[in-house]
Amino acid sequence: MTAARDARELFTSLTGRQPDGLWSAPGRVNLIGEHTDYNDGFVLPFAIPQRTVAAVGLRADARGRVMVGSTFADAPVEVGLDELDGLFPTAPGTPPAVPDWAAYPLGVAWALRRAASGSGPFEALDIAIASDVPVGAGLSSSAAIEGATASALNDLWGTDLDRTALAGVGRRAENEAVGAPTGIMDQMASMLGEPDTAIFLDCRSLETRLVPLGIAAAGLAILVIDTRVKHAHSTGGYRERRASCELGASLLGVPALRDVSIADLPHAEELMDDVTFRRVRHIVTENQRVLDTVRLLREEGVRAIGDLLVASHVSMRDDFEISTPELDTAVDTALSAGALGARMTGGGFGGAAIALLEQDAVDAVSDAVDAAFAASGFAAPLLFTVAPSAGAHRDA
Ligand code: GLA
């Protein structure tokens, strides 16, 4: 993993010291359950091997400052810990008061102080960040930054929050410091991942169940197809989808779309316009698909879930309308080249698709996707397999 070496080297070049430690957290792939998290519903993500590393050290500084640097920024940013309450929350619709990339770790420092307000002292520190998680690919590079930073600060400040609380700190940073109105899925996956396991999460109660996947044992693999079409969830479509879901829930008189079942859909259709209804139908059917996937994994194993992955993609393409031509090409080509199932993963409007396929079909499917992208005039996709992996931890 080059991120560990890069984070350590950046720390040393910025401070002239060695860090007190290295903490890392992974990106995630969502197997199924898209846009259901902020509707209090169900999701089934897993952590991927690609990680973000934070090299962090306390520093002797009576003024209580925090400096954060990153390999993808030209210069570090430094602020006083006491200034954080003046910087955040970021006013809705405006950019953060610090560069975007710095709003993630500084937002975590802010949200962690808020969440652990009785503890402290919150000592001055330096943070250097490097990442192996592709940015803007729908693989939660932002949750990985939040998870690595939150784990480091929780240890060094002795705030002693558990993993679920740290996921909440990351989400708060994302929502209120960065200004992206996302749910809790990515942070929970990044904090709680386990090898060969998906996390079945009830986003209302935050109860989790680890679901064994047995992908390699079944002779299968998960191929990620990063379309390289970048997305950002702080703007545009993601926010609009969320607003449609809230409108649908309020027209139905329920706290969240989690409380609507498939049997309620005919009634829902009478109450609302066609677009809102289709947004609602995606969420309601997607929640059911997550439950069905968890049941099939238990009863029949991972080979059985391909059709549910495809149905999820079709629902996102036609009802939720968050796919792109590149994502549809990735999914259609993977399926016609023999994948058992495929779907876009993450928030949509770009990013990555995943395909569930035989291990010995990885090369053929990859070649077919490459050829289809070239034939359509799309930029070459980035293709790699991922195995479900460990969540956030201290590395050194
Ligand atoms: C992004 C958000 C998540 C979730 C997904 C869509 O990844 O960060 O909270 O809403 O989109 O499922």
**Sign of torsion, CA 348 350 354 355?**
positive
CATH number of the domain residue 256 falls in = 3.30.70.890
Q: Whose CA is nearest to atom 1 of ligand 1?
A: 347
CATH number of the domain residue 194 falls in = 3.30.230.10
**173 and 240 in one domain?**
no
**227 and 190 in one domain?**
no
Ligand 1 pocket, 185 CB below 6 A? yes
Contacts of 139 (CB under 8 A, 6+ apart): 27, 28, 29, 48, 50, 133, 224, 226, 345, 346, 351, 352
77 assigned to some structural domain: yes
391 assigned to some structural domain: no
Place of tokens 């969440």: 115
Ligand 1 pocket, 231 CB below 6 A? no
Average pLDDT, the chain: 96
- Kindly tell me if the per-residue pLDDT of 235 is higher than 80: no
Last residue of a domain, one of 148, 176, 210: 210
**Interstrand relation of 125-131 and 65-70 (parallel, antiparallel or unpaired):** parallel
CA distance 64 to 174: 23
Ligand 1 pocket, 182 CB below 6 A? yes
| DSSP assigned state of 41 | -
**377 and 311 in one domain?**
yes
**355 and 335 in one domain?**
yes
CA distance 193 to 149: 17
- Kindly tell me if the per-residue pLDDT of 1 is higher than 80: no
CA distance 36 to 44: 10
**221 and 157 in one domain?**
no
Ligand 1 pocket, 141 CB below 6 A? no
Q: What is the per-residue pLDDT across 97-135, written as a single tens digit (0 to 9) for each?
A: 999 999 999 999 999 999 998 787 899 999 999 999 998
Enter the tokens of residue 244. 């449609």
CA distance 302 to 81: 47
70 assigned to some structural domain: yes
The answer to whether 156 touches 123, Cβ cutoff 8 Å, is: yes
Domain that holds residue 49: 2-210
**375 and 242 in one domain?**
yes
**277 and 371 in one domain?**
yes
**219 and 162 in one domain?**
no
Give the least confident one: 136-140, 221-225, 234-238: 234-238
**Sign of torsion, CA 113 24 177 19?**
positive
Taking the CA of residue 38 as reference, the ligand 1 atom at the shortest distance is 10
Q: What is the per-residue pLDDT across 193-213, written as a single tens digit (0 to 9) for each?
A: 999 999 999 999 999 999 999
Q: Whose CA is nearest to atom 5 of ligand 1?
A: 347
Q: Whose CA is nearest to atom 9 of ligand 1?
A: 183
Q: What is the per-residue pLDDT across 42-93, written as a single tens digit (0 to 9) for each?
A: 999 999 999 999 999 999 988 899 999 999 999 999 999 999 999 999 998 8
**338 and 204 in one domain?**
no
187 assigned to some structural domain: yes
Q: What is the per-residue pLDDT across 352-383, written as a single tens digit (0 to 9) for each?
A: 999 999 999 999 999 999 999 999 999 999 99
Ligand 1 pocket, 137 CB below 6 A? no
CA distance 210 to 315: 26
395 assigned to some structural domain: no
Burial letters 223-241, b for 16+ CB under 10 A, else e: bbbbbbbebbbbeebbbeb
393 assigned to some structural domain: no
Residue type for 78, please?
Answer: E
Last residue of a domain, one of 210, 232, 263: 210
Average pLDDT over residues 174-178: 96
Enter the tokens of residue 316. 């996102």
Contacts of 295 (CB under 8 A, 6+ apart): none
Percent of the chain with pLDDT over 90: 93
Task: Quote the pTM value.
Answer: 0.97
User: Could you say which of 37, 126, 132, 186 is catalytic?
Assistant: 186
**47 and 126 in one domain?**
yes
Q: How far is the CA of 22 from the centre of ligand 1 (A)?
A: 27
Counted domains in the chain: 2
pLDDT of residue 234: 56
pLDDT of residue 233: 64
Last residue of a domain, one of 171, 194, 210: 210
**126 and 52 in one domain?**
yes
- Kindly tell me if the per-residue pLDDT of 232 is higher than 80: no
**Catalytic: 319?**
no
| DSSP assigned state of 301 | -
DSSP H helices in the chain? 2-15, 84-87, 100-115, 141-156, 163-172, 185-192, 237-252, 265-271, 274-299, 306-318, 325-336, 362-376
**Sign of torsion, CA 366 371 376 377?**
positive
18 assigned to some structural domain: yes
**225 and 174 in one domain?**
no
Ligand 1 pocket, 252 CB below 6 A? no
CA distance 34 to 55: 32
36 assigned to some structural domain: yes
